[in-house]
Amino acid sequence: MMSVNLKGRDFLTLQDFTKEELLQILDTADYLKMQSKFNKNEKLLEGRTLGMIFEKSSTRTRVSFEVGMHELGGYALFLSPKDIQMGRGETISDTAKVLSRYVDAIMIRTFSQNIIEELAREGTVPVINGLTDDFHPCQVMADFQTIREKLGRLEGINFTYIGDASNVAHSLLIGGAIMGMNVKMISPKEFSPKEEVVNLAKEFAKKTGSKIEVTPDVTDAGKDADVLCTDVWVSMGREEEREKRIEKLKDYQLNQTILDRANKDAIVLHCLPAHRGEEITKEVIDGPQSVVFDEAENRLHVQKAIMALIIE
């Protein structure tokens, strides 16, 4: 299965990987998913330990990494800010160096991208980005696996994201461009993706021949879309902005009107948790074109692939 060697690599952002490397992760995820369905999990990481640092809580990230490590024959160690000294003033550098002596890889779900970059720089074991305020690469790889399963390809897919362009949107822009997808982001200017991320995505798009579009115009949202996607309007840590965000984003809801404008076989993605009636309507997320629970399951398989490929 391995056309390129990813052993020892960090998994921080999708921009660090080539199309061939990302496809290898997806192919491995498909293989491991098939194994799982037949209860034939290979113990590829027997005797290995994953340290999981959670400065932000999560249902899917914790359970999928913990179960994934178990299925691969390894052990996952949950570390909250209350469990380690990094939450009480120990430097990131010291934490990275100490954990590198104990575990074979580190997964961290945190706030600043700078934290995860320093952890990777100062440690000697692979670091996996479980989520930061800027990027969510594991989620987007699960999205890509789901799209391939449902639509048969990634290249040339018209992907439309509507709403608050947060960490998921940033990773979708970069990853989509690398994979040759046409990515359209529809957000109010105040909640648009960061300019440097858009520019980077456009550079990748030049090489793959794909298109990147960022617009506040919601008028034709859904038109020609193969995939429609959204995310919560109020992300963790921004609860104090709730009323303001809901007011500004109320016209950017993924609803049946938008879905009806999409291609007839279009699918709907949402990384969850979802707030029905806010960023997406119940009839859409619970409707026949929604694949959000397949998407959630694929977090397990794609993260197993990432761990199997990078942990030495």
Quick one: tokens of 20? 């061939």
Bin 152: left if φ > 0, else alpha if -120 < ψ < 50, else beta.
left
Mention every residue, 6+ apart, whose C-beta is less than 8 A from residue 109. Answer: 52, 53, 54, 55, 56, 58, 61, 130, 131
* DSSP 8-state symbol, 240: G
d(CA 98, CA 298): 32
d(CA 287, CA 310): 37
d(CA 278, CA 27): 35
Contact between 206 and 254 (Cβ < 8 Å):
no
SS3 61: helix
Contact between 285 and 295 (Cβ < 8 Å):
no
Q: Which residues are catalytic?
A: 109, 136, 139, 231, 271, 299
In this structure, what are the phi and psi dihedrals at residue 274, rounded to the nearest 5 degrees? -110, 145
Buried b (16+ CB within 10 A) or exposed e, 235-255: beeeeeeeeebeebbeebbbb
